[in-house]
């Protein structure tokens, strides 16, 4: 399987019209068995690369997932990262900010959880909620206590885009590679998945009435997302629009892009100094005797 990640990348300084990006493409697998084998290969590849990332201790990887409700963010994280050493990978989910978080700037609560060198950090939702959800529901700005919280003239959003791009540029210069996925789900597929949650007992616990309310703002969300993707996809921190109607395909696409990103880093296992090598030879001799 070879997936060309450039097919899903949002070019820097380009407009985005999500209606022109597919939510489904031809599957990369012909059967469930082939899908399982392909995913297993990618998981093994990621596991080896994560070990190299940790051993080289030069870079960190931050993976961001955004998308509408039921887009499959949890499932992608669960299946794609299943073989990665838990000690080298951390997942953070960001929902409604707490009272303490609202007392800080909009980047504060997420920057506290950035990955350290040698580790993979995964954000299930992120600071991008502040230019998507808050843009769709501008009344949320009032709780943030900003000097000018109207956002009506668009300057507030442009300022937040600049803050995000500057943060991600700083992270890249400091050795943290940022890769961002927008799981692109169709409205029809979301309806199907919501109905599945209502009809299937083992999925009903996932149902949230708020999902129905947010679904009524579909057009506003698509507008907010495409503005965000266009303004914040850069060469150093690209956005990938992943067709998400087929969950299995989405997982294969995401896994390959993450693995390709890691392989693009200048990593190698450390070479032990001569003194340490001599110590190891002595230890081997002692054990052999």
- pTM given for the model: 0.92
Domain count, the chain: 1
What pLDDT shows up at residue 199?
80
Report the CATH number at residue 92. Answer: 3.40.50.300
pLDDT in single tens digits along all 289 residues of the chain = 678 889 999 999 999 999 999 999 999 999 999 999 999 999 999 999 999 999 999 999 999 999 999 999 999 999 999 888 888 999 999 988 888 999 999 999 999 999 999 999 999 999 999 999 999 998 888 888 887 665 566 689 999 999 999 999 999 999 999 999 999 999 999 999 999 888 877 776 777 777 788 999 999 999 999 999 999 999 999 999 999 999 999 999 999 999 999 999 999 998 888 888 888 888 888 888 6
Domain extent at residue 129: 5-288
- In this structure, are residues 35 and 252 in contact, taking their beta carbons and an 8 Å threshold? yes
What pLDDT shows up at residue 27?
95
What pLDDT shows up at residue 6?
92
């Amino acid at each position: 399987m070879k997936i060309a990640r450039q097919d899903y990348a949002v070019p820097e300084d380009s407009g985005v019209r999500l209606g022109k990006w597919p939510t489904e493409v031809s599957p990369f697998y012909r059967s469930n068995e082939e899908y399982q084998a392909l995913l297993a290969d990618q998981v093994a590849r990621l596991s080896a690369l994560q070990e190299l990332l940790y051993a080289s201790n030069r870079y960190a990887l931050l993976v961001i997932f955004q998308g509408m409700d039921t887009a499959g963010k949890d499932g992608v994280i669960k299946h794609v990262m299943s073989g990665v050493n838990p000690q080298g990978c951390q997942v953070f989910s960001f929902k409604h900010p707490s009272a303490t978080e609202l007392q800080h700037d909009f980047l504060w609560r997420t920057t506290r959880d950035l990955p350290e060198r040698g580790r993979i950090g995964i954000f299930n939702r992120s600071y991008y909620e502040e230019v998507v959800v808050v843009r769709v529901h501008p009344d949320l700005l009032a709780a943030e206590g900003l000097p000018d919280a109207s956002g009506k003239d668009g300057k507030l959003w442009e300022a937040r885009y600049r803050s995000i791009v500057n943060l991600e540029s700083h992270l890249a210069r400091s050795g943290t590679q940022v890769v961002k996925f927008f799981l692109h789900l169709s409205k029809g597929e979301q309806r199907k998945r919501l109905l599945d949650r209502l009809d299937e007992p083992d999925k009903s616990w996932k149902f949230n009435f708020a999902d129905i309310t947010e679904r009524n703002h579909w057009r506003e969300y698509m507008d907010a997302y495409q503005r965000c993707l266009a303004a914040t996809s850069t060469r150093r921190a690209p956005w990938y629009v992943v067709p998400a109607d087929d969950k299995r395909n989405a997982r294969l696409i995401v896994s390959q892009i993450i693995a390709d990103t890691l392989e693009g880093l200048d990593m190698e296992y450390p070479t032990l100094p001569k003194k340490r090598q001599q110590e190891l030879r002595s230890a081997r001799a002692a054990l052999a005797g």
